[in-house]
Amino acid sequence: MAGATKPEASTAAELWPREEARRLAERVAAYAPSRPVIFQSGFGPSGLPHLGTMAEILRPSFVRKAFHLLEPSRPSRLIVFIDDLDGLRKVPENVPNREATQQYLGVPVSKIPDPFGCCASFADHMIGLLGGFLAPVEVEYELKRASEMYSSGQFDEGLKLILDKRAEIIAIIAPTLREENRAGWSPFMPICPKCGQVVERSVTAYHPERRAIEFTCEKSAGGTRGCGFSGEQSVLGGKAKVQWKVDWALRWYVLKVDYELYGKDLTDSARLSGQILRVMGARAPLGFPFEMFLDEEGHKVSKSVGRGVTVDQWTRYAPIEVLKYFLLLNPRRARKLFLEAIPQYVDEYLDAVREYAAASAEQRRESILEYVIQSTTPRRFNSALSFGLMMNLVAALGSSDRDFIWNYIVRYDPSIAGDAETEKMGRALMECALNFYRDFIEPTKQPYTPSDAERGQLITLVAWLRENQNASAEEIEKRIYDLGRENYDKPGKIFPLLYRSILGQQRGPRLGAFIRLATPARIVELIDATLARA
C-alpha cells in the first residue's frame, strides 16, 4: 500500500510488558501475599473514546498479563479512573447539540446533560461508549468515578493531607506556572454551591482545623463566568476538587497505585504528581510515557477533534486481535496510523499465528499471541495465503458474492478449508478484504488504455495463458519475466502495464501466485476487457 512503512518485527525477545512486569515484581516483593498489585489508567469523559484510549487501557493490561505469568498467585486489579468531575473546557467537535452544551462550560461533565439525549449526563454517555468500545477486546477492568470517590468520602483522608501540606504542594507547582498565574494558585477548586462550576484560583483563606476554605466565585475569573458567590466551604465529601496534578497524586495515594502508563504529553505532569505524592508520604507508581499516535499528516490524534483511525474502522478491515497486536508494539516509538497500513499488520499477525500453532506449550507461553488471543480467536491458520493476496483476488474478481470468492480461494489452497479454525480465520479475512476493497481500492480503480506496443505484449500473454491454463505460479512468473525481458531493458518494467490492465491500479501483488489464485481464465477475461477498450 502506498506510503505505508513496513511494520517492525515484534519478537518475544523485545516484549516490553515482560520487562515492565519484572520491575513491578521487584517493587511489590515486600507486600503481603494477599495485597493486590494496582494498575491504573485514566479516561477523561469530556470527549469520545478513541484509539489512544484503547491504548491507555490495553497496554497496562499487557503488563498485568506478563505479571501474572511471572507471579501467578499475586492478585491484581486494573482500575480505569474516570474524571467525571472535570469541568468542561471545550465542547468536542464530534458531539451533536454543541450550542446547547456550550452554556455548561466549567461545569463537571457528570452534571452536564447528555448532548446525545439518551443518558443521565454527558459523562454517562461517554462512559457507556467506553464500555461498548472495550467489550470486543475482552479486557478485564473496574471503573472508578471521580464524582463517587469524592462525594462518598473515599478521597477525604487524602484531601485532609493535601490541605495540611498545601504550602509544600504550592511550592512544587507555583514555579512551573507563568508568573501572572502564580499568585492565588491553590490546590483546591471548590464546586460553587450557587452556579455549580468548578472554580479555579478562587481560594482566599484556608481553615484546616475545620477542613474548609473560603472562596469567591468571581464574575470575571479567568475566562469562566463566575456567579459572584462568596463563602466558606468544606473541602471534603465532593464539595471541592483538587487541581489536575494534585488530583493524579490523590488517586495514586488513595488507590495505592503501583503501575500507570501515560501519554508523552503528560511527562511533566507525571513528574510533578510524583513529587506531590512524596510530600504526601507515598511512592510514585512505576510506568513510563508512551509516544502518541499520529494521523496520516503527522498530527497528534486528539479526542476533541477525533481524527485518525477509529476502532470501528479497525474491526471493519482487520480482526480485533490485529489491533491488540498493533498496540503491543513498542509504545516508546511514535506511530503514524492510517487505514492503508492495516493490511500489513494483518499479514504480520498471520505469521505470528502460524508460528504459534507450530509451537510447543512451553514456547507458546513465551509467544506474543498470549497477549492477543481471545476466547473466540482462531488459534491456527494452516494456509500460506496472505491478506494482501486475498484483497487483490477480491479486486480481480470484482464481485462481492462470498460463495463465489470463497470457492476461488479454496480451489487455490484447499488447506484453508481443512480445519474449522483455519476456515473461520479465512472467512473473517475475506470479509475484511471485501470491506477494504470496497472502501479504498474500488474508488481508485482507473480503466487503462494500452498503447499499440503494449497491446502486443498483452496479446502475447493472453495467448500463452489460454494455452497454459494449468501452469504453476512459478511458470507464470517466469513467462512474465521473459516477456518483460523481450520488451524492456529491465524485465520488471512490464509490471505496471499488467497491474493497470488487470487491476486498474499502479501496484499489485506478485503476479505468478496471484494469477494462479485468480485463475488464468479470469485474468484472460480482464485483459481482454482492457484490450477491447482501445
Binding site for Zn ion (CB under 5 A): 114, 116, 118-119, 125, 192, 194-195, 217, 227, 229
Write down the least CB distance from residue 115 to Zn ion, Å.
8
Amino acid identity at 528: D
In 3D space, the residue among 384, 378, 447 whose CA is nearest the CA of residue 415 turns out to be 384
Residue with cell 504542594: 169
Do residues 390 and 409 lie in contact, with contact meaning Cβ atoms separated by under 8 Å? yes
Write down the least CB distance from residue 125 to Zn ion, Å.
3
3-state secondary structure of 242: strand
Task: Tell me whether residue 147 or residue 435 sits nearer to Zn ion (CB atom).
Answer: 147
Write down the least CB distance from residue 117 to Zn ion, Å.
7
Three cell numbers at 52? 489512544
Task: Tell me whether residue 49 or residue 508 sits nearer to Zn ion (CB atom).
Answer: 49
Task: Tell me whether residue 61 or residue 101 sits nearer to Zn ion (CB atom).
Answer: 101
How much of the chain is helix, strand and coil, in % rounded to 5? 55, 10, 35
Q: How many CA atoms lie within 13 A of 515 on its CB side?
A: 33
Write down the least CB distance from residue 203 to Zn ion, Å.
14
Give the angle 41-46-50 at the CA atoms, nearest 5°. 60
What one-character DSSP code corresponds to residue 191? B
Q: Which residues contact 302 (CB under 8 A, 6 or more apart)?
A: none
In 3D space, the residue among 393, 377, 373 whose CA is nearest the CA of residue 385 turns out to be 393
Do residues 465 and 514 lie in contact, with contact meaning Cβ atoms separated by under 8 Å? no
The C-alpha atoms of residue 322 and residue 342 are separated, in whole angstroms, by 9
Q: How many CB atoms lie within 10 A of CB 422?
A: 22
Task: Tell me whether residue 28 or residue 123 sits nearer to Zn ion (CB atom).
Answer: 123
Task: Tell me whether residue 230 or residue 313 sits nearer to Zn ion (CB atom).
Answer: 230
Residue with cell 479465512: 426
Amino acid identity at 357: A
User: b/e per residue, 145-165, with b = 16+ CB within 10 A?
Assistant: bbbbbbbeeebbebbebbbeb
In 3D space, the residue among 225, 184, 218 whose CA is nearest the CA of residue 203 turns out to be 184
Write down the least CB distance from residue 103 to Zn ion, Å.
14
Write down the least CB distance from residue 392 to Zn ion, Å.
42
Write down the least CB distance from residue 102 to Zn ion, Å.
18
Task: Tell me whether residue 112 or residue 286 sits nearer to Zn ion (CB atom).
Answer: 112
Task: Tell me whether residue 184 or residue 447 sits nearer to Zn ion (CB atom).
Answer: 184
Write down the least CB distance from residue 216 to Zn ion, Å.
9
Task: Tell me whether residue 240 or residue 249 sits nearer to Zn ion (CB atom).
Answer: 240
Task: Tell me whether residue 76 or residue 121 sits nearer to Zn ion (CB atom).
Answer: 121
Please provide residue 37's backbone torsions phi and psi, each rounded to the nearest 5 degrees: -85, 130
Write down the least CB distance from residue 273 to Zn ion, Å.
28
Q: Which residues contact 23 (CB under 8 A, 6 or more apart)?
A: 286
Task: Tell me whether residue 133 or residue 464 sits nearer to Zn ion (CB atom).
Answer: 133
Write down the least CB distance from residue 193 to Zn ion, Å.
8
Please provide residue 328's backbone torsions phi and psi, each rounded to the nearest 5 degrees: -80, -20
Write down the least CB distance from residue 458 to Zn ion, Å.
57
Do residues 141 and 61 lie in contact, with contact meaning Cβ atoms separated by under 8 Å? yes
Task: Tell me whether residue 1 or residue 227 sits nearer to Zn ion (CB atom).
Answer: 227
